Chains A and B, each alone.
Chain A
Amino acid sequence: MDAWSGLAFGFGNALTITNLGWALLGCFLGTAIGVLPGIGPALTIALLLPITFQVSATGAFILFCGVFYGAMYGGSTTSILLNTPGESGSIITALEGAKMARNGRAGPALVTAAVGSFIAGTIGTLGLSFLGPIVVELALKLGPAEYFSLMVLCFVTVSAVLGGSALRGLASLGLGLLIGLVGIDLQTGQPRLTFGIPELLDGIDVVLVAVALFAVGETLYLAWRHMEGKQEVREVGRLMMTKEDWKRSTGPWFRGALLGFPFGVMPAGGTEMPTMLSYYAERKLSKHPEEFGTTGAIEGVAGPEAANNAAAAGVLVPMLTLGLPTSATAAIMLSAFQSYGIQPGPLLFTSQGELVWTLIASLYIANIMLVVLNLPLVGLWARILKIPTPQLYAGILVFATIGTYGISNSVVDLMLLYGIGIIAMFMRRFEFPQAPVVIGMILGPMAEQAMRQALTISQGDWTTFVTRPVSLSILLLALLGLVGPRLWALAARRS
C-alpha cells in the first residue's frame, strides 16, 4: 500500500465507533497522566498491557498511541501551572511557561502550547505517513547483519550520546541487557542468569521492570527526599491569545515542528534535545529577548512544545518501520506487538498493513481530539493537579501491585519489583538514566537473535559485520557516536 491508499483505508477503519472510542479513551487517559507529575506514558502503557489479552491489536495500539500523544499535551499543562514538568519533554516548557503563568498569562501559554502541539503533531504524523513507506522500502533490503549493526547504533545513541554521561548511560544499558538475558535461551533451551530460581526461567516481565523503574523507584526517591509543604497551582485565567501572541507563536510552531521531527526519527530518541535546541533558537530569533527568563516569552513555550510533539511522532517512524524503539515508551509498545505475536520490523507495513494504517489515521484523529480535550477542558486538568500528593503516590503503588502481582499472582514477582525499585531509587539519586534499561531489555534479545542469524548465514564468519558496506557504515556511525563527543571535548580543551 502506498501512503495515499493506506491513509484512505486507515481512515475508513479508524472512523468506526469502536476505534474512535479507543482513541478518545487513550487521549483522555494520556492527558490525565501527562498532567499528573510522577507518571508518564511508559508506565501507563506498561500497566495497560494486560488488555492485550482481551482487546484486538488495532484497538490496543490506538489506545496506546492516544496515551503517547496525550501525555505530550498534558505535560505542558503541568509545566505551566505548577512549574514542575509532567514529563521529560516538557522540562523546557516550564522555563518560560511558568514565568508567563506567574505574570497572569497562563491562558495564552496554555493555548500556544496546545495549538503548537496540534500543528506539530499533525506535521509529524504527515511525516510518518509519507516517510514510513520509504523507510520500509529501504529496510526490506537489509539483512540480519545490517539489523544487528542498526541495533548497536540504537544502543549507543540512547545510552552514550544523550544524557549527562556516557558511562552512566552504558551502565543502565548493561543492566537492561542483563535483565533481558535472564531466562531460557530460545535457540538452545539453556537457562541463563536464573541463579537457580525457577520463577526466573520465563524471564523477567517488561511490565515488572517498567513499573519498578517508573513507579516504585520514583516513589521511593520522592519519599527519601520528602518535604512537607503544598504546591501552588496557578490560576488558568482567560484562554485567549492576542493578535500579537498569534503572530509571535506561528514561526516557533513551524520551526519547532521541523526541528523536532528529524530528532525523533533518528535513532537518537528523546525529546529533550530538540526542545532545548528549539528554545535556544527562539531566544536568538525573538524580537523580545528581554522577556526570556523574566516575564516569560511566548516563543519559548510555542517552539519547544511543537518540537516535543513532532519528536514524539518521529519516534514512531523507526518503531513501526524498523522495529527499533528509541524511547522507553516505544520499547514498551514494541513488547505489546510481541505479545500479539506480531513481529515488528519492515514486514509490519505489508503483513499488518491494516493495523499500521488504521493506527496512523488514528493519530490524526487523536491530534484533533487532543486539542479539543485540552483547551475547553483545561479547567478539569487543572483540578487533577490538585489531587494531594499522599493519595496520588499511594494510588500509583496500588496500580504497581496490579501490574505485577495481578498478572502473575506470584509474591516472587512482587519482591523482584521492590528489589528493582530500590535499585531504581539509587539510579535516580546517582543520575543513571532509566530509558536505556527498558530499551536494552527489549532490544537486547532481538539483537542477539539478529547476530546469530547473521553468523549462521555467514557460516560463523565474524567479518560479515564489517565486510558488508551498509553494516560497516552503521557500525562506524555507532563508533563515532561513542567516541566522537570525547574527541570533540578533547580538541576543544586543547585549543
Chain B
Amino acid sequence: MTGTTGEPGTMPGPADAPVPDARMRAALRRSDLVVGGLVLLLGLLCLWQAAIIPTTPLYAQVGPKFTPYLVGGMVCVVGAGLTLSAWRGGWSHTLPEVAEAPPTNWRALGLLGAGLVANLALIDTLGFVFAATAQFVLVAAAFGSRHPLRDFGIGLAVTFGAYLAFDKLLGVNIGAGILEGIL
C-alpha cells in the first residue's frame, strides 16, 4: 500500500539499474540537500510554534509546550542528519527507481494540476458533481485519454452516482451546489 505501485512493468527488488553519471549525481545530490534543508526548516517551524503557545500558569507537570518542543527538536536533528548525508553524496543516486525514471512529464503534471485547481475553484459554487466531473476530464486527459466527451459522460455518471449514494444512503451531504433543491 505504500510506494510500491510503480510504473508499468518495473521489476521490484534489487534491479540492476543504470549507474548515473557524474553530472546527474551532482544534480541528485543538490536535490537531496534541498530536502534535508526543508526537513530542518520543518523542525524549526515546529519549535517556533511551540515557543508561541501561551502557557497556563495553572499547569505544573507537563504543559502543552513540552511535546511540540520534543517533536520539533527531533525533526531538527533528523533534518540535520539528512543534510549531512546529502552533503556526503546523498541517497537519491542509490535509488533504482530514480535511475530508471522517465523524464518529467510536464503535460501530464500540468493537466492534473489544472484538474485540482478546477475542483477547488468550482466546488463551492457549482457543487461537487460538476466540479469533480471537470476534474475527472482533466485528470483522464493527463493520463493520456483522448476522448474528453466520453470522459465527461463517465465522470458525470461516477460523480452523480457517488453523490446520490452518499446523500440518500449515508445522509452525508457532499456539496449539492447548483443541484440544491432540484433533487
A interface residues with partner B (beta carbon < 8 Å): 37-38, 40-43, 50-51, 53-54, 71, 82-88, 91-92, 94-95, 164-165, 167-168, 170-171, 174-175, 177-178, 181, 185, 187-188, 190-193, 195, 214, 216, 218-220, 222-229, 231, 328-329, 388-391, 393-395, 397-399, 401-402, 405-407, 409, 411, 414-415, 418, 426, 428-431, 433-435, 444, 448, 451-452, 455-456, 459-460
Bound CA–CA A229/B171 (angstroms): 41
Nearest residue (CB) in B for A220 is: B112
Contact of B102 among A191, A225, A411 (CB under 8 A): A225
Asked if A401 contacts B132 (CB within 8 A), the reply is yes
* A401-B132, A411-B123 as given contacts; A225 in contact with B172, CB under 8 Å: no
- What are the residues of chain A within 8 A of B91 when measuring CB–CB? 164-165, 168, 430-431
A329 to B42, CA, bound (A): 26
A sample of 21 cross-chain residue pairs with beta-carbon separation below 8 angstroms, ordered by A number, consists of: A51-B170, A87-B1, A165-B91, A174-B71, A178-B75, A216-B116, A224-B105, A225-B105, A226-B144, A229-B8, A329-B1, A390-B143, A394-B139, A397-B115, A398-B155, A398-B159, A401-B128, A405-B128, A409-B175, A411-B123, A418-B116
| Contact of B143 with A224 in the complex, beta carbons under 8 Å | no
Q: Which residues of B contact A452 (CB under 8 A)?
A: 61-62
* Cross-chain contact B108 with A226 (CB below 8 angstroms): yes
Chain A residue nearest to B121 (CB atoms) is A411
CB-based contact B3/A398 at 8 Å = no
Task: Tell me which residues across on chain A come within 8 A of B109, comparing CB atoms.
Answer: 220, 223-224
Cα-based distance from A394 to B150 in the complex (angstroms):
13
CA distance A92 to B13 in the complex (A): 8
Which of B12, B74, B142 has its CB near the most chain A CB atoms (within 10 A)?
B12
Which residues of chain A have C-beta atoms less than 8 A from B68's C-beta? Answer: 181, 192-193
Given contacts A95-B11, A418-B120, 8 further A-B contacts (CB under 8 A): A50-B170, A167-B85, A191-B53, A220-B112, A223-B108, A391-B151, A395-B158, A430-B31
- Check: B79 CB closer than 8 A to any chain A CB: yes
Q: B62 and A455: CB pair below 8 A?
A: yes
Within 8 A of A (CB), among B71-111: 71-72, 74-75, 78-79, 81-82, 85, 91-92, 95, 97-98, 101-102, 104-105, 108-109, 111
Closest-CB distance, A199 to chain B (whole angstroms): 14
Q: How far, in angstroms, from A455 to B141 measured CA to CA in the complex?
A: 56
CB–CB A433/B123 < 8 A: no
- B143 (CB) vs chain A CBs: closest residue: A390
Query: Of B11, B105, B112, B136, which contacts A398 at CB under 8 A?
Result: B136
Q: A329-B1, A390-B139 are in contact. Are A414 and B74 (CB under 8 A)?
A: no
Question: Is the beta-carbon distance between B67 and A389 smaller than 8 angstroms?
Answer: no
Contact A190 B1 (CB under 8 A): no
Complex CA distance for A165 and B86, rounded to whole angstroms? 13
Which of A195, A216, A224, A411: most chain B CB closer than 10 A? Answer: A224
Q: Does B126 lie at the interface of the complex (its beta carbon under 8 Å from any beta carbon of A)?
A: no
For B175, list chain A residues within 8 Å (CB): 405-406, 409
Are B135's CB and A174's CB within 8 A? no
Query: Which B residue sits closest to A71, measured CB to CB?
Result: B1
Residues facing A in B1-59 (CB within 8 A) are: 1-13, 31-32, 35, 39, 42-43, 46, 49-50, 53-54, 56, 59
Docked Cα-Cα span, A82 to B172, in Å, equals 37
**A53 contacts which of B10, B92, B158, B171 (Cβ < 8 Å)?**
B171
B177 nearest CB across to chain A (Å): 10
Q: Is the CB of B173 within 8 A of A181?
A: no
Number of interface residues of B (CB under 8 A): 88
Q: Which interface residue of A178, A415, A459 has the most chain B CB atoms within 10 A?
A: A178
B178 within 8 A of A: no
Determine whether the beta carbon of B95 is less than 8 Å from that of A401.
no
- By a CB distance below 8 angstroms, the chain B residues around A170 are 74, 78
Q: How far is the CA of A165 from the CA of B63 in the complex (A)?
A: 33
Point out which of B109, B115, B116 has the most chain A C-beta atoms below 10 A from its C-beta. Answer: B116
Q: Which of A38, A187, A190, A430 contacts B35 (CB 8 A)?
A: A430
List, in ascending order, chain B residues with CB within 8 A of A187's CB. Answer: 59, 64
* Residues on the B chain within 8 Å of A429, using CB: 98
Contact call A188/B143, Cβ cutoff below 8 A = no
Of A394, A435, A456, which contacts B143 at CB under 8 A? A394
Given contact pairs A40-B1, A85-B12, A225-B102, A188 touches B56 in the complex (Cβ within 8 A) = yes
| Alpha-carbon distance A195/B136, docked complex (angstroms) | 33
Tell whether, in the assembled complex, residue A390 and residue B141 are in contact, meaning their CB atoms are under 8 Å apart: yes
A91, A171, A401, A414: the one within 8 Å of B82 (CB)? A171
CB-CB under 8 A from A444, the residues of chain B are 71
| Cα(A170)–Cα(B73), bound, Å | 12
> B182 within 8 Å of A by Cβ?
no
Return chain A residues, CB-CB under 8 Å to B179.
none
* Contact residue among A88, A225, A406, A415 (Cβ-Cβ distance under 8 Å from B4): A88
Q: How long is the Cα–Cα vector from A87 to B3 in the complex, in angstroms?
A: 9
6 smallest CB-CB distances across A and B, nearest first, come from A40-B1, A406-B174, A390-B145, A390-B143, A174-B75, A390-B140
The interface residues of chain B lying within 8 Å CB-to-CB of A394 are 115, 135-137, 139-140, 143, 145, 151, 155
